[in-house]
């Protein structure tokens, strides 16, 4: 049987995350310093001392969560694992840990990704909401009717919808009528994994032209295929694809079971992924890395 390291996406952030590690661990401090240098700004100051509203901006939160997660991994001294996976931006973190993309390039990619996503849908124009208590196919059909998208299939009974605010609000009312236990807006500055992110695709394709992707040293399970992707060109296409298509986390977890994975170690702020895995299967034990 095998273990997998999993890395979180947006929503896991808190002001001050990683600060104690920065002060006490040289490996973690080097990560935050390298990310600051790569972005040519003190993102670490926003992470450690900023306002939550500023940290939550898509351009900041994506490299911030990645930096905190990589800092935790490097501070832990854990070896590179057989398998890695990430939820949304966590895919980039996983690839960084697996040696496929350098830390500096990962930071630059996520800053560019955040900017591209925000440019595609200005602040206030989009909406992302979590839906509890309905089957993913039911939610997907209602989203299609209303012109928004199923952005995350997280676990049985929990999905996320995203798109333009008017479309998501219309879908939310229909979902409540269809029996959703709860529909709750999330604190994101740009809608994620939806058709309205199409303008970000060309922008990110240009950015990727200047980034070297190596074959990962770990088996990287993609949000696109729910399976292992190793070819660098296929990895690039999967990451670009995810801008406009949903995260298939529930299906990925079920495929992990089929791959013989029986333990998941969550690395990064929060413990959201451990909860999602536990609600999807009882065949994978979960552990939150504490450093």
Is the Cα torsion angle 165, 62, 288, 250 positive or negative in sign? positive
Domain end, chosen from 185, 208, 228, is at: 185
Q: Measuring CA to CA, how many Å separate 17 from each of 21, 35, 38, 243? A: 9, 15, 20, 26
Query: Where do the DSSP E strands lie in the chain?
Result: 2-7, 83-86, 126-132, 149-155, 158-164, 182-185, 219-221, 228-229, 261-266, 285-288
Total domains in the chain come to 2
Same domain, 66 and 157: no
Same domain, 230 and 282: yes
Annotated catalytic residues are 88, 193
pTM of the model: 0.96
5 φ/ψ angles, rounded to the nearest 5 degrees: -95, 130
69 class by beta-carbon count within 10 Å (0-12 exposed, 13-18 middle, 19+ buried): buried
In a domain, 104, yes or no: yes
In a domain, 276, yes or no: yes
Encode pLDDT of 109-133 as tens digits.
Answer: 999 999 999 999 988 999 999 999 9
3-state helix, strand, coil in the chain (%, to 5): 50, 20, 35
CATH number for the domain harbouring residue 179: 3.30.70.250
Same domain, 142 and 277: no
Between CA 139 and CA 178 the distance in angstroms is: 9
The candidate with the shortest Cα–Cα distance to 164, out of 155, 181, 151, is 151
Radius of gyration of the chain (CA): 18
CATH number for the domain harbouring residue 258: 3.40.366.10
Same domain, 29 and 138: no
What domain range includes position 70?
A: 2-121+195-288
Is the Cα torsion angle 159, 162, 165, 166 positive or negative in sign? negative
Same domain, 201 and 75: yes
pLDDT of residue 240: 98
pLDDT of residue 188: 84
Between CA 93 and CA 11 the distance in angstroms is: 15
In a domain, 190, yes or no: no
Encode pLDDT of 91-111 as tens digits.
Answer: 999 999 999 999 999 999 999
Q: What is the dihedral of CA 287, 46, 210, 190, to 10 degrees?
A: 80
Encode pLDDT of 27-75 as tens digits.
Answer: 999 999 999 999 999 999 999 999 999 999 889 999 999 999 999 999 9
Encode pLDDT of 218-252 as tens digits.
Answer: 999 999 999 999 999 999 999 999 999 999 999 99
Same domain, 274 and 176: no
């Amino acid at each position: 049987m095998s273990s997998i390291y999993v890395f979180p996406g947006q929503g896991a952030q808190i002001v001050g995350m990683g600060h104690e590690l920065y002060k006490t661990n040289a490996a973690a401090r080097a990560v935050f310093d390298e990310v600051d240098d790569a972005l040519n700004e003190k993102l670490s100051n926003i992470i450690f001392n900023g306002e939550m509203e500023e940290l939550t901006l898509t351009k900041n939160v994506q490299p911030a969560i990645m930096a905190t997660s990589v800092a935790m991994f490097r501070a832990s001294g854990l070896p590179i694992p057989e398998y890695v996976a990430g939820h949304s931006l966590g895919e980039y973190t996983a690839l960084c840990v697996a040696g496929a993309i350098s830390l500096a390039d990962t930071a630059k990619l996520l800053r560019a990704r955040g900017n591209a996503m925000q440019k595609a849908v200005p602040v206030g124009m989009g909406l992302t909401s979590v839906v509890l208590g309905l089957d993913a196919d039911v939610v997907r059909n209602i989203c299609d009717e209303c012109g928004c998208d199923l952005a995350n299939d997280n676990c049985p009974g929990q999905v996320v919808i995203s798109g333009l605010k008017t479309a998501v609000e219309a879908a939310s009312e229909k979902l409540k009528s269809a029996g959703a236990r709860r529909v709750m807006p999330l604190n994101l500055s740009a809608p994620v994994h939806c058709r309205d992110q199409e303008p970000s695709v060309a922008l990110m394709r240009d950015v990727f032209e200047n980034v070297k992707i190596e074959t990962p040293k770990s088996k990287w399970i993609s949000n696109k295929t729910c399976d292992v992707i190793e070819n660098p060109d296929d990895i690039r296409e999967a990451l670009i694809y995810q801008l406009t298509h949903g995260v298939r986390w529930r299906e990925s977890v079920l495929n992990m079971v089929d791959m013989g994975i029986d333990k998941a170690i969550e690395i990064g702020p929060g413990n959201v992924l451990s909860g999602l895995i536990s609600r999807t299967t009882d065949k994978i034990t979960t552990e939150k890395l504490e450093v």
